[in-house]
Amino acid sequence: MSKGPIHHGNKSLKLGEKYKLMWAAKYIKNTGSIQRDLHKNIVDNIDKLKGHFDDDVLTLTGNSLEGFDSLEEKLSWMLLVDGCSLLYILEKDRLVEPGPMDIKVDQLAIVMVDVLLLENQLPYEVLELLWKDNNKSELIKSTTNFLECLWARPGKSQPEKEKDVVPNESQLEKEDDEEGQHNVSIPNESHSKTPTHLLDLQHKMIATASKPKTKSNETADMKGSQEKNKFEMITYRNIQDLKAVGIRLKSSKTQSPRDMDFCEGWFAATLTLPEIVVDDTLAFTYLNLIAYEMCPDFKNDYVICSYVAFMESLIDHPEDVKELRSKRILLNCLGSDEEVAKLFNIIGTDLTTNIDTYYDVRCKINKHYSNRYKTWIAKGFENHFSSPWTIIAFSAASIALVLTLIQTLFTIHPACK
């Protein structure tokens, strides 16, 4: 199913055009809107809306004007149908009960994939012009709720989704303060930045940190930044190698790529990673977001690319996936652990990353990994105390040794008299 002018008129997508007309009509009927008024909203702003599309796309659209007098007329009708049908799809109950859409669940999954394709994006302004009552805050709430349902891990209740998975609509703008640390601001509704399109909104929601930084984290980050010159050469190591030197894994209980941290103890350390659900749509979701980040006109810090590259560096073998599963960081809905490892190796190839995104975390991992004393102690625990039985055996032997020593002392004491 196509949205927008890029794939409009594709013969292989003809069935989708029939569904779009049906959903657009249902949206107009359900909202009590008048089609003529909605179309006028688009027509009155068509020159501005045209500016969101490349000249090549507009030229391709204008090559066939069958049934239309001009490019503007064709484009305005296209945006009306596509925009209304998209708003109908975005209604909160669609993912739970697709019955009113007259499609089956397997077809619904395809539709949800299509509406987030980079080449299928409609300008967000189109949705605002077609939204009922022109209430922008309600529109942003509706679109974020839709994306939350798509992104949230299975089994979470709605309140947990809103709290842990993605920020709400008032948290979509982010700022960097004078010290360069990441913050999530709460802008006033009047001046909050409008998303470019639905995919841009999804990117903002995923890339925004779910947890504010604490003072201890800020101090650690500043210290890590000061060590950049010290650790010039940093190589990624898979999870099995990290485990061997006493680095344990912990879930951040969120799904934001920015919620990653590394804490070092006396002998062991903890790498905190965001949760991730691996299913049939994961490759599509990340490849689509990666393609968006690589668009020449989208200025960003490549947080998705950096996250996928970081995870790919940690996952080399099925054993790495198994460890992530055991710590409840990764939920494997795809199949075998080997399939998951291959998937990350595929989508993590040749990515443009931001070296600063996880630099402090990598520096701390490198520092711990390079400390031979901590490494020896960690390997000793791993080799000799990796199971409860070895710990029990060691405890029993220690107790027996102490009792033997005590008995010997009591035996020697009378003889000394």
pTM for the complete prediction? 0.72
Q: Where are the beta strands (DSSP E) in 252-362?
A: 261-264, 269-273, 276-278, 330-332
Averaged pLDDT score across all residues of the chain:
79
Radius of gyration of the chain (CA): 28
Q: Identify the three-state secondary structure at position 248.
A: strand
* pLDDT digit string, tens, across residues 257-269: 999 999 987 767 8
Dist. CA 119–CA 7, nearest whole Å: 8
Q: Please compute the mean of the pLDDT values over residues 324-339 and round it to a whole number.
A: 91
Q: What is the pLDDT of residue 43?
A: 95
The per-residue pLDDT for 391 is 61
Strand 269-273 versus strand 261-264 pairing type? antiparallel
- Number of separate helices (H) and strands (E) present in the chain: 19, 7
What does the pLDDT look like over 94-152, one tens digit per residue?
776 777 888 887 788 888 889 999 999 999 999 999 998 778 888 998 899 888 887 66
Is the pLDDT assigned to residue 192 strictly greater than 70? no
Spatial neighbors of 337 by CB under 8 A, at least 6 apart, are 318, 319, 321, 322, 325
Per-position b or e across 105-143, b if 16+ CB within 10 A of its CB: eeebeebbbbbbbbebbbbbbbbbbbbbeeebeebbebb
**C-alpha to C-alpha distance for 168 and 137, rounded to whole angstroms:** 11
Q: Would you state the pLDDT for residue 16?
A: 87
Model pLDDT for residues 274-303, shown as the tens digit of each residue: 999 998 888 888 999 999 999 888 888 899
Domain boundaries, given as residue ranges, for the chain = 11-154+193-207, 218-379, 387-416
Res 153 pLDDT > 90: no
Q: What is the pLDDT of residues 67-110, one digit of tens each?
A: 889 999 999 999 999 999 999 998 866 776 777 888 887 788 88
Spatial distance between the Cα atoms of 372 and 366, rounded to a whole number of angstroms? 12
pLDDT of residue 182: 34
Of 15-29, 33-47, 255-269, give the lowest mean pLDDT range.
255-269
Q: What is the structure's pLDDT at 372?
A: 65
Kindly indicate the confidence band of residue 213, based on its pLDDT and cuts at 50, 70 and 90.
Answer: low
User: Residue 291 class from Cβ within 10 Å (0-12 exposed, 13-18 middle, 19+ buried)?
Assistant: middle
Confidence of residue 415 (pLDDT cuts 50, 70, 90): low
pLDDT of 196: 92
Query: Quick one: what percent of the chain has pLDDT higher than 90?
Result: 34
- On the question of pLDDT at 189 being above 50, the answer is no
pLDDT of 160 reads: 42
